[in-house]
Amino acid sequence: MMLIPGFILRLAVWLLLAPLLPGIINKVKAWVAGRRGPPVFQLYYDLAKLWRKGVVLSELASPGFIAGPAVAWVALVMAAMLMPLGPAGSAFGFRGDVLLLIYLLALARFCTAWAAMETGSAFEGMGSAREVSYAVLAEAAMIAAMLSLSVQTGSVSLTMMLSPTAGASAALLAAGLFTVLLAENCRVPFDDPNTHLELTMIHEAMILDHSGPPLAAILHGASVKLLLFTLLLVQAVLPMGELSPLAGAGALAAGVLIVTAGVGLVESLLARLAFRHVPLLLTTAFLLCLFALLVAWKGGAK
């Protein structure tokens, strides 16, 4: 049974590498601003600290307040298991797994929003209302992007879809998916992970009342989600299928680094958008993915 060790190895890679990405983003931001910045491994230290801490629960919270982050974390990690890793393929792939991936992300969102509403705080209500509302446009963009990959490769399983030949739609898709990445992971210009004004936040506003291990699960899950979207973007754009395994792995790692640095640069150079403009940007992302779909359609049958 090569299956089980391979699965565990892959799981370990995901769980251990994911918290690196926010560290890299912060380093890039610090570098642009001319600061030293927190260490790259800061999130690891935070997670370890939170995991050892006790929990303060709101008097209003039901058991769902703790179950929510747990389910969301599992959903994100399992979505990550569906994601192929360049030459290594995916741990568990089947026809139509792309839809399971999208809906697992939606389940994670549902659980986070549900847990946020447990506390009866207006701030958390605000955060989850924004989260579920923006998801409407983000999911439309995701499905359009996936449709364009499907058209390009003639397949509906992620392993096939994410090894396209370099298509004419790649640039459009890259722009669209990068915007979705920023929105889904609550980065600037949609949300500011560093702000201290709860009124202006989405993700951070939802988790104000979480503490200890549940907060660690949420933060770790968020980093897994960021890595997931980064990998999705890189593999959707790079013609992985045409590279040798070693070159593929190298290209994948380089791509992830570039995208992460890109997120950091965007965060350093742009300001957060006013909330009333966020739907416009998301609609733009949707249109980019839609045009990618049309270009892929025109690009000729495979």
Site for other proteins in 253-282 (CB under 8 A): 279
User: Residues near 170 by Cβ (< 8 Å), separated by ≥ 6?
Assistant: 164, 236, 237
Among 18, 66, 83, 182, binds other proteins (CB under 8 A): 66
Cα angle 226-228-229, degrees, rounded to a multiple of 5: 70
- Name the residue nearer to other proteins (CB basis): 139 or 267: 139
Q: What's CA 44's distance to the chain center, in Å?
A: 18
Q: Which residue has the tokens 């809906």?
A: 103
Contact call for residues 141 and 180 (beta carbons, < 8 A): yes
Among 52, 194, 269, 277, binds other proteins (CB under 8 A): 52
Angle between helices 20-33 and 245-269 (to 10 degrees): 50
Provide, rounded to whole angstroms, the least separation between the CB of residue 209 and other proteins: 5
Provide, rounded to whole angstroms, the least separation between the CB of residue 183 and other proteins: 13
Provide, rounded to whole angstroms, the least separation between the CB of residue 190 and other proteins: 13
Q: Which of 20-28, 36-44, 204-212, 242-250 is the region at the interface with other proteins (rule: CB under 8 A)?
A: 204-212
Q: Which of 15-23, 41-49, 184-192, 208-216 is the region at the interface with other proteins (rule: CB under 8 A)?
A: 208-216
Among 40, 107, 249, 265, binds other proteins (CB under 8 A): 107
Q: What's CA 188's distance to the chain center, in Å?
A: 14
CA distance from start to end of the chain = 35
Q: Which of 3-11, 37-45, 232-240, 293-301 is the region at the interface with other proteins (rule: CB under 8 A)?
A: 293-301
Give per-residue burial for 86-124: e unless 16+ CB within 10 Å, then b.
bbeebbebeeebbeebeebbbbbbbbbbbbbbbbebebb
Per-residue x/- track, 141-170, other proteins (CB under 8 A):
-xxx--x--xx--xxx--------------
Residue 8 interacts with other proteins (CB under 8 A)?
no
User: Residues near 29 by Cβ (< 8 Å), separated by ≥ 6?
Assistant: 37, 264, 267, 268
- Name the residue nearer to other proteins (CB basis): 28 or 138: 138
- Name the residue nearer to other proteins (CB basis): 155 or 159: 155
Q: Which of residues 69-98 bind other proteins (CB under 8 A)?
A: 69-71, 73-75, 78, 92, 94-96
